[in-house]
């Protein structure tokens, strides 16, 4: 099992609760156990179930004919059956100022998709007074609520449709 994040699988639905609670000191090491039921399986579970977890390793190529997966750490893994569970990514509207360069968000701009995103947002919120959330959907409103729990005045910006 390959996963781009540096830990095993976790309940993404609890990211909103984590942001609102302010649990942990906001360091990545504290993010390993922000709450008891956050991670779905302990590290030992993977080994006990015959699963090799490649945490923090991104798949860059799949050769369906040779039945091989190529990863960004140089590893090549042969497979019998392949399941692709690609998940999703945060959507960033085409707005000036969001990106520092082609791959890096401007400091203070965050997605709200991963544990890393959530912990970075919590760290950045310390000492701040205001925040703007772009997107008034469910995740945007949950992010706004979470940031309010950190004492920030939050403005939600949502595109008008129709």
Question: Terminal CA-to-CA distance of the chain, rounded, Å?
Answer: 42
pLDDT in the model for residue 35: 56
Inside any domain, residue 29: yes
pLDDT in the model for residue 58: 94
Give the tens place of pLDDT for each residue, 113-154: 999 999 999 999 999 999 999 999 999 999 999 999 999 999
- Whichever domain contains 51, its CATH number is 3.50.50
Inside any domain, residue 61: no
| Count of structural domains, the chain | 1
Positions in the chain short of pLDDT 70: 22-36, 162
């Amino acid at each position: 099992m390959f996963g781009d994040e540096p830990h095993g699988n976790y309940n993404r639905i609890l990211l909103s609760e984590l942001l609102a609670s302010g649990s942990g000191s906001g360091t990545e090491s504290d993010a390993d156990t922000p709450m008891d039921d956050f991670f779905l399986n302990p590290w030992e579970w993977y080994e006990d179930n015959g699963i090799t977890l490649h945490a923090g390793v991104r798949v860059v190529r799949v050769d369906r004919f040779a039945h091989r997966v190529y990863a960004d750490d140089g590893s090549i893994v042969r497979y019998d059956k392949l399941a692709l569970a690609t998940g999703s990514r945060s959507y960033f509207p085409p707005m000036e100022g969001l990106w520092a360069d082609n791959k890096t968000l401007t400091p203070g701009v965050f997605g709200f998709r991963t544990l890393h995103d959530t912990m970075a947002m919590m760290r950045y919120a310390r000492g701040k007074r205001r925040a703007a959330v772009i997107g008034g959907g469910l995740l945007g409103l949950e992010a706004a609520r979470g940031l309010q729990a950190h004492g920030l005045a939050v403005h939600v910006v949502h595109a008008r449709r129709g």
